[in-house]
Homo-oligomer: A and B are copies of this chain.
Amino acid sequence: MGKMKPRTLSGFLELLPDRQVQFDKMIDALRASFSLYGFTPLDTPIIEAAEVLLAKGGGETEKQVYQLTKGDTDLALRFDLTVPLAKYVALHYGALTFPFRRFQIGKVYRGERAQRGRFREFYQADIDIIGDGSLAVINEAEIPGVIYHSLTALGLSRFVIRINNRKVLNGLFAALGLTARAGDILRTVDKLEKIGQEHTAALLVRDIGMEQSQANQLLDLLTCTQRGVSPIAALSAYSGKNALLDEGIEELFTVAKHMEDFGVPDTHFAMDLTIARGLDYYTGTVYETIIPDHPEIGSICSGGRYDNLAEYYTDKPLPGVGISIGLTRLFYVLEEQGYLNDDLLTAPADVLILPMTDDLAPAISFATALRGVGVRAQIYGEQKKFKAKMGYADRLNIPYVVFLGEDELAAGKVTVKNMVSGDQEIVSPEVAIKGLTAGVAHQKTLPPVRQ
C-alpha cells in the first residue's frame, strides 16, 4: 500500500516531548501567576460565526483570518482572544460580576506568510479587567505587578516594563494645537529609535509643519527618560495647560507610585513617553515589556487601558485594561537564545522500574505505592536485554531506576540507582519511596526559563 508522507504544516509549532514539557511549564506558571491576582480562567470556542468574529471589519487582520463554511454557516477561526472576550462579555453580561477579571491562554490563528519565527497557530496568554461603566485607575497600576510576577515565575530576570499614558500624549498634542495630526506625529515619533532625534525633528517640521523649536521641545520631552530626567518632572512644565494632559500626568504618577507596593523593583519598571502601542484602541495607561539584552525581540508583553471592549456588540460602555503575551513566539525566541532551563526535569517519569523476574506483581505493587505518594513511576515490561532497558532510562533522562530481582525480592528490598551520580543502593521499599520523593522534589520547582 502506498504511504502518505507524514508532515506538519509550516507555521505550526509541534514540539518534541522534552520541549513540550518546558512549554507546558510556562503555561502552568502563567496560570498560577494570573490566579494569584484574582483572574478567573476562561475558554471560548476556537470557531465563531464569521459575522460575529469580524463585526469590526476591515484591517490587515481580516485578510489573515481562516474562514470556512459548514452547511450554510460562515465560520472563522479566532485570530486573537480579545474579540472572543468582547463577545463573551456582551453575551453573558447579565451572568457576570464586574469588574470582571479573566485570563485565557489559548491558540489563535492567522494565515500569515510563512517565515522563520512567524506562526500561523500560536498561543496567546491574555488577562483583562473589565469594568461596567467605569474602572478605577488602581487596576491600571496593578498590571505591571502581574507582568513582573508572571515573567519572574517563568524564570526571566532581566526585563523592563515600560509604561506611558495615552492621555499624556493626546493632551500634549491638544496643548500644542496638533490634535488633528496626532496619528501622523505618533507614526513619525515611532521612528525615533531607528533614525535618531535630529532626523525625527526634521520630519516633524517637513511633514507635520511643526516649528523647528516646537519639534525639538516635543522630542526633548518625549525622550526625557533617555537623558535621565523623570517624565513626571519633565511634564510638570505642562501642568495646567490641558485638562486631558493633567489627567494623564495624574494617572501616570498614580501608577508609578504604587510600583513598590505591588512588588515591582525600580530596575524592572520605567516610564517612557515615546510608547503609544497602536493608534486608536488604547485610551489610558499603555504597557510594553522589553528584554534589554535583546531589543530585537521587541515587546514580549504589551497592552493597555481601553474605553469600550465590546462596542460592536453592545451599547454598554465596558472600559477595561489588559495585556497579552505571545507565548509561542516567546518560547521560540527563548529557545533560540538558549534561555530554556535544561535543568528542568523533562523526563516522562521520575522512576523507571525494571522487574527482573517473571512475576511482575512486586514491581507493579511498588509502582502503585510510588504513584500513591505522587512519584511518577513507569514499569518497563518489555522483553529486552538489560543494556537496552538502561538505555531507555538514559535516553529519556529518567533520574532513577529501580531493580527488582530475585535477590531483592527474597530480602524484601529494592535496588535504587541514581542515573546522574551512578550511585546504587539496596534499601527497603519504604526507604526507597522516601528517598525518591525527596530526590526529584527540587527539579520540580525549577522554572522553565533560566535568564
In this complex, what residue of B is CB-closest to A259?
Answer: B364
Residues of A within 8 A of B (CB): 1, 3-9, 12-17, 20-21, 23-24, 35-49, 51-52, 55, 66-68, 70-71, 73, 75, 86-88, 90-92, 95-97, 99, 101-102, 107, 109, 111, 120-121, 131, 134-136, 138-139, 141-142, 145, 149, 258, 261-263, 310-315, 348-349, 352, 360-361, 364-365, 368, 371-372, 374-379, 381-383, 392, 395-396
Cβ-defined partner of A381 (8 Å) among B70, B138, B374, B376:
B138
Tallying the copies of this chain within the complex gives 2
- Residue ID in chain B nearest A149 by CB atoms: B371
- Give the distance in Å from the alpha carbon of A70 to the alpha carbon of B121 in the complex: 13
Q: With A121-B45, A348-B38, A376-B38 in contact, do A6 and B97 touch (Cβ < 8 Å)?
A: no
Are the CB atoms of B7 and A139 closer together than 8 Å?
A: no
Is the pair A392, B14 in contact by a Cβ cutoff of 8 Å? no
Complex Cα spacing A136 to B382, Å: 5
* Cβ-defined contact, B378 with A37, below 8 A: yes
Say yes or no: A9 contacts B73, CB within 8 Å: yes
Instruction: Give complex CA distance A235, B395 in Å.
Output: 42
Are B68 and A40 neighbours in the complex by a CB distance under 8 Å? no
A86 to B87, CA, bound (A): 36
Least Cβ distance of A266 to chain B in Å? 16
User: Assuming the A-B contacts A9-B48, A35-B376, A73-B9, are A21 and B3 also in contact, with contact meaning beta carbons closer than 8 angstroms in the complex?
Assistant: no
Q: Is the CB of B45 within 8 A of A376?
A: no
Contact A40 B97 (CB under 8 A): no
Contacts of A48 in B (CB 8 A): 8-9
Rounded to whole Å, the gap between the CB of A35 and the closest CB of chain B is 5
User: Smallest distance from the beta carbon of A262 to chain B beta carbons, Å?
Assistant: 6
For the complex, give the distance between the alpha carbons of A70 and B73 in Å: 18
B67 and A381 form a contact (CB under 8 A): no
Which residues on the B side are within 8 Å of A88 (C-beta)? 6, 14
**6 A/B residue pairs, CB under 8 Å, sorted by A:** A4-B51, A20-B41, A38-B376, A67-B68, A68-B68, A262-B364
